[in-house]
Amino acid sequence: MPEGPSLVILKEQTARFVGQEIVRAEGNTWAIDTARLVGQPVVSLRTWGKHFLIQVPTMVVRIHFLLFGTYRVDERRDKPPRLSLGFADGGELNFYACSVKEIDIDIDACYDWAADVMSDAWDPALARKKLRAEAKKNADALVCDALLDQDIFAGVGNIIKNEVLFRIRVDPRSTVGALPPAKLRALVQEARQYSFDFLEWKKAFVLKKHWLAHNQKTCPRCHIPFHKAHLGRTNRRSFWCERCQKRYG
DNA sequence: CTAAATGTTAAGCC
DNA sequence: GGGCTTAACATTTA
């Protein structure tokens, strides 16, 4: 569930709750006092990268699905919800196995919307600037890590990472600093473009069949086996083709 | 059945 | 404090 486009789908599915009063709030979350939500209207439902933000007049709740989180709209799973919200129209929103946290009420001061690849405010020039700054700070910074950096590409996850690098034909072990300007530009451009393709495919329930690299065995361009390794600061799975993805640096 | 996976945070250690 | 590594969390799928 967790990459940025999936959160956009959640926001769309829950749009009708904006403006409605929360008539019931419960769940096994220990991090917030759910009673404080009851009786309050939903001011906004927003996303920033992989964060889902529920804003009411007196507080903002942040949901993060981590690796295994799920949700249901107007339905329940056979599991105790971490947070369950009931609305004035009889509808409900249930979250499971996720992180729930109260954050600063001034969300615009806390979040750089220009960093969210799904946002209207996404700023590719700023992303390029951050990449150049990262390369300057750390000459060994890898492109596979840069794509997963939520301060630069909020919403990009491991699937998007693998697909973007395949599309732009860059080896995940390349260093950011060694990328030619055109590749750096392509990296930023595809991070957004693929995220929107992901969104459309996920909505149509055809996302997996469009994976060209992630979880794949053979390069669809070269018809040779993909290399697979756990790379980068956080040892995430990478799939790449040694023939058509070039290693820089 | 076991292992691994769309992710982040906090603790522990130089 | 900084930077790095490790553990913890929790659920579904292969």
Ordered domains of chain A (ranges, CATH): 4-111 (3.20.190.10), 114-240 (1.10.8.50)
Strand B contacted by A215 CB (< 7 A): yes
Residue A232 Cβ < 7 Å to strand B: no
Contact, A96 CB vs strand C, < 7 Å: yes
Q: Is the CB atom of residue A208 positioned under 7 angstroms from any atom of strand C?
A: no
Q: Is A130 exposed, middle or buried (0-12, 13-18, 19+ CB in 10 A)?
A: buried
Using the CA of A207, give the nucleotide whose C1' is nearest: B6
Residue A142 sits at φ, ψ, to 5 deg, of: -95, 150
The answer to whether strand C lies under 7 Å from the CB of residue A233 is yes
What are A39-65's pLDDT values in tens digits? 999 999 999 999 999 999 999 999 999
What is the predicted pLDDT for the residue at A110? 85
Q: What is the predicted pLDDT for the residue at A109? A: 85
Distance A221 CA to C1 C1' (A): 49
Crossing angle for the helix pair A158-167 and A181-203, to the nearest 10 degrees: 130
**Which residue stretches of chain A are H helix?**
4-13, 107-110, 124-137, 143-148, 158-167, 181-203
Q: What is the dihedral of CA A83, A87, A92, A94, to 10 degrees?
A: -10
- What is the overall mean pLDDT for chain A? 94
CB neighbourhood size of A145 (10 A): 21
Dihedral sign for Cα atoms in the order A8, A13, A19, A23: negative
Give the pTM: 0.95
pLDDT at A43: 97
pLDDT tens for chain A, 249 residues long, are 689 999 999 999 999 999 999 999 999 988 899 999 999 999 999 999 999 999 999 999 999 999 999 999 999 998 999 999 999 999 999 999 999 999 988 888 889 999 999 999 999 999 999 999 999 888 889 999 999 999 999 999 999 999 999 999 999 999 999 999 999 999 999 999 999 999 999 999 999 999 999 999 999 999 999 999 999 888 899 999 999 999 998
> Which nucleotides of strand C lie within 7 A of protein CB?
5, 9-12
3-state class (DSSP) for residue A54: strand
Among all strands, which nt has the closest C1' to A66 (CA)?
B7
**CA A191 to CA A144: how far, in whole Å?**
12
Residues whose CB falls within 8 Å of the CB of residue A124, separated by 6 or more in sequence, listed in order: A185, A188, A189, A192
**Count of all residues that appear for chain A in the document:** 249
Amino acid identity for residue A22 in this structure: I
Q: Cβ of A2 < 7 Å from strand B?
A: yes
Nucleic acid strand B within 7 Å of A158 CB: yes
Spacing of A230 CA from B8 C1' in Å? 18
Is the CB of A125 less than 7 A from some atom of nucleic acid strand C? no
CA angle A78, A82, A85 (to 5 degrees): 90
The reply to whether the CB atom of residue A97 sits less than 7 A from any atom in nucleic acid chain C is yes
Distances (CA, A) of A142 to A174, A189, A248: 6, 18, 10
Chain A residues 59-118 with Cβ under 7 Å of strand B are 64, 66-68, 99
* The pLDDT of residue A46: 96
Closest nucleotide to the alpha carbon of A82, via C1': C10
Q: In the prediction, which pLDDT does A1 show? A: 67
Q: Closest residue to B8 by CA to C1' distance?
A: A66
